[in-house]
Structure 1
Amino acid sequence: MKKVSFAEFGGPDVLRLTDAEEPHAGPGRIRIAVRAAGVNPVDWRIREGQVLGAHPVELPAGVGLDAAGVVDEVGEGVEGIEVGDHVFGEGSSTYAEFAVLSVWARMPEGLTYEEAAGYPSVVETALRIVREAGVRPGQTLLVSGASGGVGSAVLQIARDRGITVIGTAGAANQEYLRSLGALATTYGEGWAERVRQLGRVDAALDLAGSGVIRELVELTGDPGKVVSIADLDAPKLGVRFSGVAGSVPDALAEAAALIARGRLHIPVEKSYTLAEAAAAHIDSQAGHTRGRRVIVV
């Protein structure tokens, strides 16, 4: 089978499309014929060797955590799923023609494979950081870098919970944020004052790692009300860096319920082939995403 892998840590140029042996579903696992794989910032952080504590790597290594596809092997002890079912979930080395998933759920009706592949890590992260920020219905959450996949999910989850959201993004994404129910403003010089003009901030999320932690602390008045998933130096300012996943099965179940109710939709901004994995990482690292990027197999 074809699989994207890397034999050394480094930039996007270390990624190679190789011929590899097919993986097989062990106990408690399923294998899917991958139709699409989600492209997440953690993918290139793993490729660069940034997050070895949370994601140990044995080289050469595959790439990708999220995928959607068709079940073609069911491991021992797995119940409630059969060969031929359409699922989305998390596993390992998902930039490939076949991948083993450790967590999965049936794809909600109406979703394409490309759309479904963009949900697992994104929704788990969004649910986790909203919880960690301690924001409650009736309060206001500031989201810095709000137009990407996690931001898109946060905005919709918060809206569903009765939380007001102020989102920052580039000029081209202002209307997109408003379409998701957020009060929108641009980042750049004077952004913190523009946020103040929109209202009080009870909690804040840093999704872009653009050096805004000090301002987020000032806006909330409490570093304990700020959570970052992108600035590894955030703890130096007393801010939580959230990098350890919570319950993915619960997140998938909640995502499926929100999708079914029409309360969550994350658009796919761009699709890539397996051979274009390096380009997908370059674009992901550049940011300014509206929704999700996915690899189509």
Structure 2
Amino acid sequence: MPNAVVLSAFGPPEVLRWARVPLPEPAEGQIRIKVAAAGVGPTDLDLRSGRLKAFPLEPDAVLGFEVAGTVDAVGPGVTGTFVGDDVAALLFGLGGYAEYALASIWTPKPAPVSFVDAAALPSSAEAAAGVLRQLGVTAGETLLLLGGGGSVGVIATQLAVAQGVKVISAVGARDDALAARLGATPVRYGPGLVAEVRRAGGVQAVFDAAGRGALADAVELAGGPERVITLSDPAAADFGVTLSHPSPDRAPGALAETMAMLADGRLVMRERMTLPMAQAARAHRLLESGEVRRRIVLTL
């Protein structure tokens, strides 16, 4: 039997344990991936703690929305993908922190892209492209991006700027230079956020990629909640703001598009660091403590 990182209960990182699990079998339209690397994202931390209740989890759930690895088995109805192919996948049913994972949405991994880099892309790319699509931002509009220095924010900035959207990026001081290099105008979180954004020209929409309790400012700046979307702020309903969930139709082409951009150098991502898969609890502790700001990828 293979191993996976199992969520034994909601709580601190220690609830994650490395355990034996049944080998999953691919169903119609699925592939099974022998995982080489799995990304760790902020939503994983919220799910593990029980803070984000929008995603109901079964007992002994395996976290992880994104993996890269080699196709190990192909289910009925799958065409054009074969055992031995290297792929990156977005897992809407979770299951990435494991030696084997099932996927329904995947894209080939180009040879120039490492498994680590490929595993760090799917969830952030889908969220970035999906929320921009839901907001309906168009060329000439101005978008406020909360959390512009994070993994999703970095990709969202590049996609928006490429569409002709002006981006005002709320970041910490350490990310001012990065935001500017990606084509955004950096502003600072805090009591002066509203005034600073208005001095920069105001906004038509707000993408909250951080979930740090700035929704009141976001609604004020956007002139209402209609064009404010958050990825993880649990107070979304209190402000009438949409809490956007990963789904197969939120941005179906995002992974293939951004993988091609990554392969030819058109896409910048946050720096990555790696830890062994069995140390998933340590990865969560590091991210929650703020000791590391790099994207953590679990490897096998």
**TM-score normalized by the length of structure 1:** 0.91
Q: Which 10-residue stretch deviates more, 6-15 or 158-167?
A: 6-15
1:67-101 deviation digits (Å, cap 9, x = unpaired):
00011111122110111111001233211222122
1:29-49 deviation digits (Å, cap 9, x = unpaired):
111111110112222222233
1:189-200 correspondence to structure 2 within 5 Å:
189-200=191-202
Q: Kindly report the root-mean-square deviation, in angstroms, between the aligned alpha carbons of the 2 structures.
A: 2.1
Q: CA deviation at 1:188?
A: 2.6
Kept in 2, the 8 Å contact 1:4–1:16? The answer is yes
1:155-170 correspondence to structure 2 within 5 Å:
155-170=157-172
Q: Which 10-residue stretch deviates more, 283-292 or 186-195?
A: 283-292
Partner residue in 1 for 2:134: 132
Kept in 2, the 8 Å contact 1:105–1:249? The answer is no
1:230-245 correspondence to structure 2 within 5 Å:
230-245=232-247
Kept in 1, the 8 Å contact 2:36–2:69? The answer is yes
Q: CA deviation at 1:222?
A: 2.6
Kept in 2, the 8 Å contact 1:12–1:278? The answer is yes
- Distance, in Å, in 2 between the alignment partners of 1:49 and 1:89 is 25
1:196-240 deviation digits (Å, cap 9, x = unpaired):
222221211112222211111222223212111121212222222
C-alpha change, 1:189 and 1:50, in structure 2 (3 Å) is closer
1:105-134 deviation digits (Å, cap 9, x = unpaired):
101342111111111121111112112222
Q: CA deviation at 1:189?
A: 3.5
Partner residue in 2 for 1:172: 174
Partner residue in 1 for 2:279: 276
C-alpha change, 1:137 and 1:283, in structure 2 (3 Å) is farther
Amino acid at match of 1:193: A
Kept in 1, the 8 Å contact 2:153–2:209? The answer is yes
1:1-297 correspondence to structure 2 within 5 Å:
1-53=2-54, 55-91=55-91, 92-247=94-249, 249-260=252-263, 262-286=265-289, 292-297=295-300
Unpaired runs of 5+ residues, structure 1, are none
- Distance, in Å, in 2 between the alignment partners of 1:73 and 1:269 is 29
- Distance, in Å, in 1 between the alignment partners of 2:174 and 2:79 is 46
Amino acid at match of 1:34: V
C-alpha change, 1:146 and 1:286, in structure 2 (3 Å) is farther
SS at match of 1:104: strand
1:158-197 deviation digits (Å, cap 9, x = unpaired):
0111111111111111111122111112223323222222
Amino acid at match of 2:269: I
C-alpha change, 1:52 and 1:89, in structure 2 (3 Å) is same
- Distance, in Å, in 1 between the alignment partners of 2:290 and 2:145 is 15
**TM-score normalized by the length of structure 2:** 0.90
How much identity, in percent, do the aligned residues show?
A: 39
1:5-51 deviation digits (Å, cap 9, x = unpaired):
12212121100112333323233211111111011222222223344
C-alpha change, 1:290 and 1:155, in structure 2 (3 Å) is farther
Amino acid at match of 1:270: M
C-alpha change, 1:246 and 1:83, in structure 2 (3 Å) is closer
- Distance, in Å, in 2 between the alignment partners of 1:286 and 1:133 is 32
SS at match of 1:56: coil
Kept in 1, the 8 Å contact 2:32–2:74? The answer is yes
SS at match of 2:266: coil
C-alpha change, 1:290 and 1:138, in structure 2 (3 Å) is farther
Kept in 2, the 8 Å contact 1:3–1:19? The answer is yes
